[in-house]
Structures are given as C-alpha cells and as structure tokens.
Structure 1
Amino acid sequence: MDERAVVRGLTRLTSPPLVPEIRLRLAEEPFATWTATRADDPPFWAFAWSGGQALARFVLDRPEAVAGRRVADIASGSGLVAIAAALVGAAAVTAFDVDPLAQTAAAENAALNNVVVETVRADVTADESASELKAADVVLAGDVCYDPDMAPPMLAVLRACAERGAHVLVGDPRRPYLPRGLEAVAEYDVPETGNLEERDTTRAAVFELRPGSAANG
C-alpha cells in the first residue's frame, strides 16, 4: 500500500479551528474515511480531536512548557500536538503511534509546517523501553482516554513517565474513562466538533499528571 497516497487521497489541507496556525491534512467524515482505508481500526490520524486541539493550543500559548526540551507525543495521530511542540522550540520531538498511516500522516503534516518531527511506529503500552520515550523531558498525550480498554494501559505509561520525572500533560474533553484526580491547568471550547463528538462545540481541558496523581484511576 502506498501510505502517502492513501493519506493524501482521503484528506484535504485545512487548519483545526482552535489551532489555525497549523496546517494539516484532515478528512471530513469519519465513517467514510474508515471504510476507504479498509483498516481494522478507525483512522484517528485523519482528524483533529478536541483533546489534541486543546493540548496543541496550550503548547502554542505556553511555549515555556516545551521549549528547549525533549518531547514525546503519545498516540500522536495527525501529529498536531507534536507539530505544536516543534513550532515553539522543543529541542527534539518524537511522535509515537501504532498505525502506519498515522506515522505517514504525521510526517506529511510536519513537512507542511516546516518542522522536524521524528515519527515512530510503536505501541508504547507494550514497549515502554523505547529510548525516545524514556529520554523525554515532556510527555504529551491527547485523547487517549476514549476507550475502556485503552485508557488504563495508556495511563499506566503516563504515570510511569511522571514518576521518573517527566512533565506529563493530557488533553481530553473529560471522557468517562479519564481518571479522577487529574489537575486541569487550562480549558478551551473547541468549535466545529460535530462530526466527531456529540456536540458542535466541545469543552476540552489540559490536565497535568503528577507523580502519584490519579493513583486509583
């Protein structure tokens, strides 16, 4: 499969409404895009989800959170959050995702924004030993708590990163599987989410995961 051709064929150039500074290749309709990819999993890479937009907005508005630091973006999808970190001066940015199309999309989108993002195809819940993740000073994760099976292992990885001293930030619209006890450091109204969420405008927050926080999930 020509992954670049698939990404380009299913998307168009646009900007997420909360993050107009960044250009991405995004699709318009989730189910049609999923059918077209013939993949087992939904094409998360083809959309700018509300938690990711909130996290990218936070990074752009507060560059001191990542500037000069090594950044890992977990479940990167389109690469939106990773690109935001690169734009404001992160020393190095690595985008992790299990989907090869996400890896391709993130690389394409980074090039569109004239930034360097290393893309790694990896399941961080199965391989926490990835050197780029262990070396990251800042770990970013947008929309990783949407699924009851995915949220616990993802949060276990994020907690491990926090315990070793990384600054961990999570973007999420307070989905049911987001654990209690996380501290919201910013909130945003994300417009034009009707094709992905249950409402046209979705309230999403950025949470800081500190060592020992949300220990009970």
Structure 2
Amino acid sequence: MSQSQSWQPASNPWLVAMTVTLAVFMEILDTTIVNVALPHVAGSLSSSYDESTWVLTSYLVANGIVLPISAFLSRVFGRKQFFLICIVMFTICSFLCGIATELWQIILFRILQGFFGGGLQPVQQSVLLDYFKPEDRGKAFGLSSIAIIVAPVLGPTLGGWITDNYSWRWVFFINIPVGILSVLAIYQLLEDPPWERKWAKGKLNI
C-alpha cells in the first residue's frame, strides 16, 4: 500500500484510463457485433447458420479460459508488455478473420482473438487501481463501467449497419484502426509501477 501511495505516474491518469478503456471497449464490442453478421457469414462461406454460430461461441469460450490466468501472465511478462501483446494480436486476428475464406479459418482466428482479448479487461482494472488514488477510483471505474455497458448494447446495432451498408468482413476490419490507436497511445502513456517491473524481472530471470 505504501508503494502505491508513493508512486506517481508520469502520464495523466485520466488519459491512461481512457486509453486502456478504449481497448477494453473494442474487445467487449466484439462479443456482440458479430451476432447480426452470422447469417451473412454463413451465406458467404457456404455454411449453415448453426455452423456459423461457432464464430461467436469460440470467441466467448477462449475469452473465458484466459480471464482467470491473465493476472499471472501480466506479471510474468510485465503488465504493459502483456497489454500491448494482447492488443496487437487481437488486431491481427481481427484482420485475419476479415480476410478468411473458410469457416474453419474464422473459427480458428476467433479462438485466438478471444484468447488475447480475454487479457485486456483484468489488466485494465489493475491499471485503474494503481493509477488512481482511493478517492478517485470510483470515478475511474465509473468510466470503465460505461464502456462495459455501452459496448455490448452498441454491438448489434453497429454490426447490422456495417453489414447492410458494407460487408460482414468490416465488423472485423473496424477493430484495426482502434487497435492501432490503442497500441500507439498505450506505448506512449502506460508504465508499469516499480513493484510490477521488479516482479516481472524476477520471474523472467528464473
């Protein structure tokens, strides 16, 4: 507790909060934005609707598997590095889903996307805890809650509009600019507290 009170981050905590929350918003949005595109995915890839539901199910299952171990992984690799890896790989997998020509390819890339996306929200929560004083954490987590609530509600509407006006592939491509922006901002703004860096260094040396 004394360490967290004495440490002062170099970047504005609210800028960091908005940056890490943007990445989480992108990940949560992906849980519902694909729903309305499934009939189009099935038709485009000559699959049944039931088969296409694996595009959603595979993502959610992989996401749930990673959530319990993401805190451990963030300490092993370093929180900032782990967060950046997750966003970069999530964005790459989004691109691969968008260019897939077979259903099994999308399912495979969605599993990977869910795996890396699952690490974002736990790390975001720990960042907010470290970057904000106890009296400001309620506001910070309020910002996070808005993203968590709005993203799944916005997903079907946005996914339907994109699918009707463009192509189902753009429900995946839309993550690319958001992912790039998040990576650049997090690389510049986010830093690991001294105790996190020490813990990660010790684990990697072992």
Shorter chain as denominator, the TM-score bin is: under 0.3
Question: Whose relative contact order is higher, 1 or 2, with alpha carbons under 8 Å and at least 6 apart?
Answer: 2
Point out the structure with max Rg over C-alpha: 2
TM-score, with structure 1 as normaliser? 0.23
Which of the pair is proportionally richer in helix? 2
TM-score, with structure 2 as normaliser? 0.24
